Amino acid sequence: MKNTVSTFLNAKQKGEKLTMITAYDYSAAKLVDAAGVNSILVGDSLGNVILGYEDTLSVTMEDMIHHAKAVSRGAKECLVVVDMPFMSYQVSVSEAVTNAGRLMKEGRANAVKLEGGLSICPQIRAITDAGIPVVAHLGLTPQSVNAFGGYKVQGKTEAAARRLIQDAFAVQEAGAFCIVLECVPAELAGLITGLMSVPTIGIGAGAGCDGQVLVFHDMLGIFSDYTPKFVKHFAEVGSVITEALRSYDSQVRDGSFPEEKHGYMIDHEIVEKLKGEFS
Binding site for ligand KIV (CB under 6 A): 22, 41, 43-45, 83, 137, 180, 182, 203, 213, 215
CB of 45 to ligand KIV, least distance (A): 3
DSSP states of the chain as a string? ----HHHHHHHHHHT--EEEEE--SHHHHHHHHHTT-SEEEE-TTHHHHTT--SSSTT--HHHHHHHHHHHHHH-SSSEEEEEPPTTSSSS-HHHHHHHHHHHHHTT--SEEEEE-SGGGHHHHHHHHHTT--EEEEEES-GGGHHHHTSS-----SHHHHHHHHHHHHHHHHHT-SEEEEES--HHHHHHHHHH-SS-EEEESS-TTSSEEEE-HHHHTT---S---TT---S--HHHHHHHHHHHHHHHHHHT-SS-GGGS----HHHHHHHHHHH-
Measured at CB, which residue is nearest to ligand KIV?
A: 43
CB of 277 to ligand KIV, least distance (A): 60
**Between 147 and 267, CB nearer to ligand KIV:** 147
**Between 224 and 251, CB nearer to ligand KIV:** 224
Query: Is 173 an active-site residue?
Result: no
CB of 267 to ligand KIV, least distance (A): 54
Which one from 77, 95, 158, 182 is the annotated catalytic residue? 182
**Between 189 and 215, CB nearer to ligand KIV:** 215
Which strand (E) or helix (H) includes residue 190? helix 186-195
DSSP SS3 for 277:
helix
CA distance 119 to 144: 13
CB of 13 to ligand KIV, least distance (A): 23
CA distance 20 to 80: 10
CB of 245 to ligand KIV, least distance (A): 26
**Between 55 and 77, CB nearer to ligand KIV:** 55
**Between 175 and 202, CB nearer to ligand KIV:** 202
The set of catalytic residues is 182
